[in-house]
Amino acid sequence: MIEIKSKREIELIKEACRIVALVHKKMEEIIKPGISTYELDQIAESIIRENGGIPAQKGYPSYQKGVMDFPSTICASVNDEVIHGIPSKRVHLKTGDIVSIDLVALKNGYHGDAARTYIVGEASSEAKRLVEVTRQAFFEGIKFAKPGYRIGDISHAIGEYVSKNGYSVVKEFQGHGIGLKMHEDPGIPNYGKEGRGPRIEKGMTLAIEPMVIAGKSDICELEDGWTIVTEDGSLSAHYENTILVTENEPKVLTIL
Ligand code: MF3
Ligand code: CO
């Protein structure tokens, strides 16, 4: 069931999203060669808490038996890591790396979710192009996040834009509705067919999140039970915002 949010709920989701946007603003400022992903995680957690929020990814349960809960505020996924990288004191960013930071803030019962891929120092033109295509894929997708379209229209637009640019989308993970829960209906794949899937309606809040691989679409999971990496070792990028569907253009809630 896809929840249509009330005015009150939308205000609460906006507030959670504002906190997520603040954290990303800080991440963009401080991501430099030498900083560890653990330091980024500590700073992200402080900003969320200073704003009366809770880091919703910290303690998030794995769907797999015997795998620890997610231990951190942010997911920090470097280079060939696609998503769900675990911050570490041992991982220091270096020039030329790309790092995807994904985080969810919870406040007054409601969630906001956004991810960005940051370039550390100077990157190759290929890395820069991957990051830019991933970001633009989101904006191609949300052209269809309006009443009158279906979820498949968003999925199709993202998938087509990515493949047209010579890259692959990840098939095993997808965007999602968001609100009282981090992951709500509908699932929003990054590939699909036009005119398929649930109808899009005013008052839906959706986390739309292209996950793009420079090489082949195959992925594997590391021993930690969380980190997803590309099978061919190629680079991967992630770009996500929480949006609100309105009568007209969607509102991107995680950009200030
Ligand atoms: N923020 C992620 C998403 O976009 C969820 C991360 S899984 C967690 O759906 F364990 F880190 F929470
Ligand atoms: Co996310």
pLDDT by residue (tens digit) across 204-233? 999 999 999 999 999 999 999 999 999 999
The whole-number pLDDT of residue 177 equals 99
Residue 106 CA to ligand 2 centre (angstroms)? 12
From start to end of the chain, where are the E strands? 54-55, 74-78, 81-83, 98-107, 110-119, 168-169, 175-177, 184-188, 205-208, 211-213, 219-221, 228-230, 236-238, 241-244, 251-252
**Whole-number Å distance between alpha carbons of 117 and 218:** 20
The whole-number pLDDT of residue 252 equals 99
Confidence class of residue 190 from pLDDT cuts 50, 70 and 90?
Answer: very high
Residue 83 CA to ligand 1 centre (angstroms)? 8
Q: Which ligand is nearest the CA of 181, by number? A: 1
Residue 148 CA to ligand 2 centre (angstroms)? 26
Which atom of ligand 1 is nearest to 113's Cα?
1
Q: C-alpha distances in angstroms, 248 versus 93, 141, 147, 244, 245?
A: 41, 15, 8, 10, 8
Q: Is the CB of 48 under 6 A from ligand 1?
A: no
The whole-number average pLDDT for the span 9-23 is: 99
Every domain of the chain and the residues it spans: 7-252
How would you class 186 by CB atoms within 10 Å of its CB: exposed for 0-12, middle for 13-18, buried for 19 or more? buried
Query: Distance between alpha carbon 159 and the CA centroid of its chain, in Å?
Result: 16
The whole-number pLDDT of residue 184 equals 98
Q: What is the value of pTM for the model shown?
A: 0.98
DSSP string, 219-240: EEE-TTSS-EEETT---EEE-B
In percent, how much of the chain has pLDDT > 90? Answer: 100
- Superfamily, domain 7-252: Creatinase/methionine aminopeptidase superfamily (3.90.230.10)
User: Tokens 């007054």 belong to which residue?
Assistant: 108
* DSSP-based three-state secondary structure for 24: helix
pLDDT in tens, 65-89: 999 999 999 999 999 999 999 999 9
The whole-number pLDDT of residue 164 equals 98
The whole-number pLDDT of residue 254 equals 99
Residue ID of nearest Cα to ligand 1 atom 8: 57
pLDDT in tens, 46-66: 999 999 999 999 999 999 999
